[in-house]
Structure 1
C-alpha cells in the first residue's frame, strides 16, 4: 500500500481529540486503505487490537449491521466501560439513519470516532445539524503525483511518469493493472457507480444520457470559465436541451460526489468573489481520458487541473483570479497568506512569457507570485515573480 502520509499525519494530530473525524472523497480514492493504515499505526504504537472496532459497511461480512440499531448494538457489545475505543465506520452512508449512530457514539466519553463516506451528502441535512461544531472533515483525493511516483522507485524519468500518471489514472487501484483495457474497465466501474449511486439516484435523474452529456461537457471544458447559462446554451446547440435549474442541480450533485471540483472567481482589485461564473476541474485526468478519449489532450488545461488538485491537497483555499480584463490562474489562501500562481507548459517563447507574466505584473502588492512551467531552467525571477519547474513543485516535500 502506498503511504498516504499527508492524511495519516492529519489523523495523528486529531487522535483522541473530542471531534468526529469525517473522511470524505470520491469513490476509490483510498479512504478504506487510509483507515487500515491508521489502524496499523494504532497497533504499532501500543493500542490493543480489542480496542479497535472497524466496520466496513460495503463488506458482506457486515451485511447484518445495515440498520442504525443493529450497528450501534454491535459496537456497544464490543466495548468496555472505561478504556478509550477507536471506532472506524467505513462508507457509513450505506446505513439508513446513520446520523443517529454517529450521535449516539459521540455521546460516549470513551469513543474516538472515525467515519468515511463517498460524497458530501454525508455532511448535509440532519447529520450536519446533529454534529455541527463537533466534527472535522478530512477531504481525500486520489494519488498525488509524488505518491504515484513512490510506487515506481526505480523509475527516474519524471516526464514519462507524468504522462503515465495522466493516462493511467491517479486512482490507487489503477496501479494493479498494466493493460490499458483493464484500466479502462476499472475506471468504467468507478464512473458508473458514481453516476448511478451518487448522482442519478439521489437526484432522481430520469434522463441518464442528459446527465452523461453534461459530465462529458464539463470534463471537456476543464479550466474554462463556465456559467449555467453558457452551459445550457452550448448543450442545447448540440441537441441536448436542458434547463438552467437542471444544470445547477446536476453540477451540485457532481461536485458533492467529488467527481468535479469548482473554483470560484475572485476580483483582485475589487476584492470580491464573482458569483456568476467559475472554473471546473476533473477529479482524475485518467477518468477524463476514459470519457473523452486520448485525443482530447488539451495539455495546458490538464496541467492546470493537476496543479489545482495539488493546491487542494496542500490545504489551500483556491480561487481563479481576475485582474481587470486579465486572468490569474490561481489565487491561493492559507494561514492568512495570499499567493498568486500562473501555470504554463512553457515560457521559453518570449511572447508566451510576456503574456503569462502580464496579469501577475498588474497586481501591485507584495504577496508572492509564482509561474509554474515544465521548462527545465535554472531558477529564474522576473520582477520578483519566481519561475519554478512544475515537476519539482509537484514532487517537493510538503
Structure 2
C-alpha cells in the first residue's frame, strides 16, 4: 500500500489547494476539540464535506507547525486494509518510531467500512495516549451496536449536514440584511428555489437540472443503496431500498403503515420495517412521531416519514408541488421529531419540543389563510396552555390573536424570522 498517495504533505508540507475548499461554521466548532484527548467522529451523508473538513484540519495543523510525518490520513473508501498492518506500515516507513512516542494525528475516513472498527479503534486509543484520532462515517455510525459500548467516554460526535440556507447564500456570495428580510423578498424566493433543488450539497450548486438529478441519484442515492448499505447489513433486495425511498419522495410526510406497504409491495412487514431502518441509518429518511407527553405512547402511535433532503425528493419526484417540498424543508431544517394527529383527526405538521417547551408549527403554502387554518392550532394551544404558535405561509405576514393566544403567520422566505421564532424562549415573540 502506497501510503504517500493519501498524504501528499509528506513530500512538500502542504495540503493541495483543491483538497481544502471553503471553510464552514462547523470548522471553528470542531477545531476547539483538537487539544482534547477524545476521538472526533464526523458523521453524515455522503458528499457533505466530511473529507474536506479533515483536510482543512490537517492544513491548520501544518500551519501551526505540526510535522508532516506526524499527520497520517487514510480512506477506507478507496482501499481495504487491516488497521494493525496499516499502523505498522506507517510506523516503519514514515514515523520511524513507535506510535506512542510522539504526538500524532490519525485521520481515518469512511471508518464504517472497516470490519469491527469500534473495538479496533478502542484498542488503538487506549494504548496510545498521545494519539489524536479523527474519524468519518457516511451514516449514523455512532448508533451502531457496539460503538457506544466500545467507545463510551472516548469520542465527541459531530453530525456534518449539507449547507443550510444561510450557508448556501454565503457560498453563493449573496449578502442579505437579515434584519430587513422584506427588502430582499424576490431575491430570497429565487435563492430558496435553488436551495431546495440542490439540497445544500456543495458540489451540486452550479449544476443544471439534468446533471443535478443524475448526480443526486447516482453519486448519492444509488451509491449508498446498492453499495454502502449492503456492505453493512445482511440484505438481498437492495432495489427495495430505492423503491421505499422513491415511495417516500412521491409522498413526503406520508403515514407509515407497514401493513399497507406489505400488501402493495408483496413483501412481509418485518422486512419492510428493517429496510426502512437501514434508510434511516443511512440518513436518507426522517421519521416523525405522533406527539404525546408519554414517549412510550408516541412510539406506539402512527408515524410519518419524510426524505431527509429536498434534493432527494426533487430528483426522484421532479413534479413535486412547492407546498409539499416546503413542508419537507421545514421538517428537515427544524430537525422535527414530532407531529400531531388526534383521534378527532386534528393534525399539526410539527410539534417542536425544545427543553420540554412546546411550539406548534403548521405549514400552509396557499394563497389565502382562513379560520380553518388556525382552528386546530388554537385548540392545541388552549389544551396545552401555550401562548404562541407558528404558521408558515406563502404570503400572509401577520399575527392572529384569540384571547391570550397568538399565532405568528410568517412567509416561508423569511427564513431568519422563522428560525428565530422557533429558537425563542417560550412565551416570547421576537
The alignment covers a number of residue pairs equal to 380
With normalisation by structure 1, the TM-score equals: 0.83
Could you tell me how far 1:360 is from its partner in structure 2?
A: 4.0
Larger Rg: 2
Distance in 2, Cα, partners of 1:340 & 1:10: 30
Distance in 2, Cα, partners of 1:45 & 1:371: 49
Question: How has the CA–CA distance of structure 1 residues 72 and 321 changed in structure 2, closer, same or farther, with 3 Å as cutoff?
Answer: farther
Maintained 8 Å contact 2:248/2:254: no
Question: How has the CA–CA distance of structure 1 residues 195 and 133 changed in structure 2, closer, same or farther, with 3 Å as cutoff?
Answer: same
Question: How has the CA–CA distance of structure 1 residues 94 and 212 changed in structure 2, closer, same or farther, with 3 Å as cutoff?
Answer: closer
Q: After the TM superposition, which residues 222-371 of structure 1 pair with which residues of structure 2 at under 5 Å, given as runs?
A: 222-233=252-263, 236=264, 240-267=265-292, 272-292=297-317, 294-295=318-319, 297-312=320-335, 318-322=337-341, 325=344, 326-346=346-366, 348-351=368-371, 353-355=373-375, 357-366=377-386, 368-371=388-391
Distance in 2, Cα, partners of 1:46 & 1:336: 46
Question: How has the CA–CA distance of structure 1 residues 145 and 153 changed in structure 2, closer, same or farther, with 3 Å as cutoff?
Answer: same
Q: Which of 140, 154, 168 does residue 120 from structure 1 map onto?
A: 140
Question: How has the CA–CA distance of structure 1 residues 270 and 140 changed in structure 2, closer, same or farther, with 3 Å as cutoff?
Answer: closer
Q: After the TM superposition, which residues 1-398 of structure 1 pair with which residues of structure 2 at under 5 Å, given as runs?
A: 1-5=21-25, 7-43=26-62, 47=66, 49-59=68-78, 63=79, 66-74=81-89, 76=91, 78=95, 81=100, 84-107=103-126, 108-121=128-141, 123-154=143-174, 157-175=187-205, 177-189=206-218, 190-233=220-263, 236=264, 240-267=265-292, 272-292=297-317, 294-295=318-319, 297-312=320-335, 318-322=337-341, 325=344, 326-346=346-366, 348-351=368-371, 353-355=373-375, 357-366=377-386, 368-375=388-395, 377=397, 380-382=399-401, 383-393=405-415
Maintained 8 Å contact 2:289/2:304: yes
* Structure 2 unaligned regions, length at least 5: 1-20, 176-183, 424-430
With normalisation by structure 2, the TM-score equals: 0.77
Distance in 2, Cα, partners of 1:82 & 1:385: 62
* Structure 1 unaligned regions, length at least 5: none
Maintained 8 Å contact 1:171/1:284: no
RMSD: 3.1
Could you tell me how far 1:353 is from its partner in structure 2?
A: 3.4
Q: Deviations over 1:12-67 (max 9, x none)?
A: 343333332221112112211222233344445665545433323334xxx4x711
Distance in 2, Cα, partners of 1:331 & 1:39: 41
